Structure 1
Amino acid sequence: MTILQVPIIDISGLIAQTNNSADVVADQIRQACQNYGFFYIVGHGVDAQLQQQLENLSQEFFAQDEETKLKIRMAVGGRAWRGYFPVGNELTSGRPDLKEGIYFGAELEENHPLVKAGTPMHGHNLFPSNIPQFRETVIEYMESMTQLGHILMAGIALSLGLEKSYFAERYTKDPLILFRIFNYPPNLSSQSVWGVGEHTDYGVLTILKQDNVGGLQIKSKFGWIDAPSIPDSFVCNIGDMLDRMTQGLYRSTPHRVRNLSRTNRLSFPFFFDPNFNVEVKPIELKDVVMNDDKSDRWDRASVQEFRGTYGDYLLKKVSKVFPELHQKVL
């Protein structure tokens, strides 16, 4: 019996930006994206103390009563699509997820052109006023992740035989940054429950920090496999837009969270996505035949048939995740 394991890639060579070491990392990324759509990264250089502080402050926030947490509920965030939601308020495939969370994004001032234009999913974040350093920690973490996102997209470009600046020049010079902090409450039943149902991510790259509880599962070519916590690592996966750009060479891989734990589980998905207003188009890759097999897509939908901007795609998706909120604010 073969035990499948998501690849672990040391990206320090990519950060050092020496040609040989970057090419080695790019080759590992290519193999991981083609075979799994997921990979762990180590050697990333993200401050461990910052990560621990983020985890501690998040635990402090979710330990509060619901009335206190609802002071920064998503309805208050309006079109910026930011703030807290209670357990069961987020849907995957029409079913409530057994998690609560806070939505964040790039912190934009009121005079920013996109905010002035009323562009959805752009604007101010909502932070709890009663937890010191929460705002500063989240913003610093998002800045670190944004830098890491640029580095990884350069590696993905190299993995496709493109110039390392390919994505930055066309899609991610000014990326759409979305960040979530999720808390999965303890499973006190005798059965497994789904913290998040089967789904794929929407954009190009997700960088996930998870605590040591576990529960993430990935749908490989051979069935579902676990992606447990590995110390000082992040889990990365590609989304629907990279699937479309590569014409299915890099498939966006379904994943889910199976909650078996008797304790709370925290996860911190960071989405590094194309600019909201950019049109997403296929890349002309040598010897690549479009893979548009809908039968193995979790939603039986084709990302290759999509036409339009990333914002168009994203808004269609989020309207299904929070249908009631979508009707009120978007």
Structure 2
Amino acid sequence: MAIATKIPLVNVECLNSLTKALISSAKPDQPLTISNVAIEAWYDANTVAVQQCARSIREAFRTMGFMYIENHGIPQELQDQLDASSRKFFKLPLEEKMRIRMSRGGLAWRGFFPVGGELTSGKPDIKEGLYCGQERSAQDPRVKARTPLFGSNLFPEKPAALAQAVLDYMKYCEAVGQGLLIMVAISVGLHPTYFIESSCADPTCLFRVFHYPPPATLKDPKLRDRSLWGVGEHTDYGLLTLLKQDNVGGLEVKRLDGQWVAAPPIPNTLVVNIGDMMESMSGGLFMSTPHRVLNRGGPDAMRLSFPFFFDPGFHAHVPPLPLTKKQQDDARETVAMRAMLLQQRWDLTGVTVAIKPDETYGDYLLRKVGKVFPELAKSTSATTPPTKSEQSKL
């Protein structure tokens, strides 16, 4: 297997009709769905383009673990609204943003965290952010059962447009994520609905908006340490990450040979990478690649990023993919090459033992997220989200 030297660009225009169909199916408290009949009709109408796209995705995930996608179908106007309203939010005074701090989000783990509030490999990241997820009402059975990560979002009163922009953008990302998993299934010879009828029938979708302030502007001298990163070297936990970048950039990806390669912003694209769970399910055929973020924020360059995480259902089990012998051999080749070139993974553990056989994805995810927010994880009985009137009194 050749070592990829740059991040490939994949045209996913053939997914647009699926994305539109999924968006039109949206219902409160429910995942986006589409019938097998509709998927088969889509495949029959786009067979050549779909097969070509699936091959490109497989090659990208096997050799780099990252790709850019273009023609993804997310409206530019919506992206612009999300960007503009997010910038307005992060320009608010800290005390204003802290009104929706994550500790107020209860078990849903939603809301704002300040600079240094999130850890990567035990070190504080030089970023602040807003954690969001699928909107689940108080009547949702999982909310009633006090299931972690389920509940309502904590959105600020100002800017008023941010909440709807986030929710609309998440719907599109969920639809694109479903389409990409259909492509991944096709790429390894599985039925197109393999993921969306099993581990991802009710996916866990999480969304973040991150702001990277210039270190020199921070009051805490410990956070002005230039050895700290916007986000330190890490891999993602789940299946797929869809990243919208602004025009500042700073993302770097670690190649198989250990060299770092920049992933600069390309207009009208998303960066897509796979996470540890996809690597584990594929036996190493697909790579969960270490990456990091340089903090390039400055007085005239306010850097934001918008990662969306598409993962298995909270209560789902995630068995290995039923790969062919040839695919298993390819996976072993990939794992062996990584071991030879990198000696060992950046985190010294590997992903083959990331989830125990009797665990659900939710068990695994809570253990992982607890390392990012250790103080928040100490209590699973945090207060319920404040009402808007309560927020105004904080």
Normalising by structure 1, report the TM-score: 0.95
- 1:197 and 2:232 correspond: yes
The structure 2 residue matched to 1:256, chosen from 292, 297, 312, is 292
1:1-330 correspondence runs (5 A): 4-15=5-16, 17=42, 18-188=46-216, 191=226, 193-222=228-257, 223-262=259-298, 263-286=301-324, 287=326, 288-289=328-329, 290=332, 291=335, 295-305=343-353, 306-307=355-356, 308-329=359-380
Task: Measure how far apart 1:192 and its partner are.
Answer: 6.6
My pick for the range that moved more, 213-222 or 9-18, is 9-18
Structure with the greater alpha carbon radius of gyration: 2
- Aligned residues of 2:8 and 2:60 also touching (Cα < 8 A): yes
Task: Measure how far apart 1:190 and its partner are.
Answer: 10
Task: Measure how far apart 1:130 and its partner are.
Answer: 2.4
My pick for the range that moved more, 66-75 or 178-187, is 178-187
Task: Measure how far apart 1:264 and its partner are.
Answer: 2.2
Task: Measure how far apart 1:302 and its partner are.
Answer: 3.0
Task: Measure how far apart 1:108 and its partner are.
Answer: 0.2
Which whole-Å CA distance do the structure 2 matches of 1:167 and 1:265 have between them?
34
Moved over 6 A (4+): none
Q: Deviations over 1:87-146 (max 9, x none)?
A: 001000000000000000000000101111111001000000122221111111111111
Higher strand share: 1
Which whole-Å CA distance do the structure 1 matches of 2:227 and 2:248 have between them?
14
Task: Measure how far apart 1:8 and its partner are.
Answer: 0.4
Which whole-Å CA distance do the structure 1 matches of 2:286 and 2:225 have between them?
38
Aligned length: 329
Partner amino acid, structure 2, of 1:248: G
Task: Measure how far apart 1:217 and its partner are.
Answer: 0.4
Sort the Cα spacing of 1:3 and 1:303 in 2 relative to 1 into closer, same or farther, 3 A: closer
Q: Structure 1 unaligned runs (5+)? A: none
Task: Measure how far apart 1:4 and its partner are.
Answer: 3.0
Aligned CA RMSD, in angstroms, stands at 1.8
Partner amino acid, structure 2, of 1:76: R
- Aligned residues of 2:296 and 2:303 also touching (Cα < 8 A): no
- Aligned residues of 1:193 and 1:258 also touching (Cα < 8 A): no
Q: Deviations over 1:216-253 (max 9, x none)?
A: 00011131100000000000000111111100110211
- Aligned residues of 1:192 and 1:260 also touching (Cα < 8 A): no
Sort the Cα spacing of 1:190 and 1:120 in 2 relative to 1 into closer, same or farther, 3 A: closer
My pick for the range that moved more, 271-280 or 132-141, is 132-141
Partner amino acid, structure 2, of 1:9: V
Partner amino acid, structure 2, of 1:68: E
Sort the Cα spacing of 1:310 and 1:295 in 2 relative to 1 into closer, same or farther, 3 A: farther
- Aligned residues of 1:218 and 1:256 also touching (Cα < 8 A): yes
SS in 2 for 1:156: helix
Q: Deviations over 1:301-321 (max 9, x none)?
A: 232223221111111111110
- Aligned residues of 2:213 and 2:302 also touching (Cα < 8 A): yes
- Aligned residues of 1:214 and 1:228 also touching (Cα < 8 A): yes
Partner amino acid, structure 1, of 2:246: D
Which whole-Å CA distance do the structure 2 matches of 1:322 and 1:23 have between them?
41
Task: Measure how far apart 1:156 and its partner are.
Answer: 1.0
SS in 2 for 1:168: coil
Normalising by structure 2, report the TM-score: 0.80
My pick for the range that moved more, 278-287 or 242-251, is 278-287
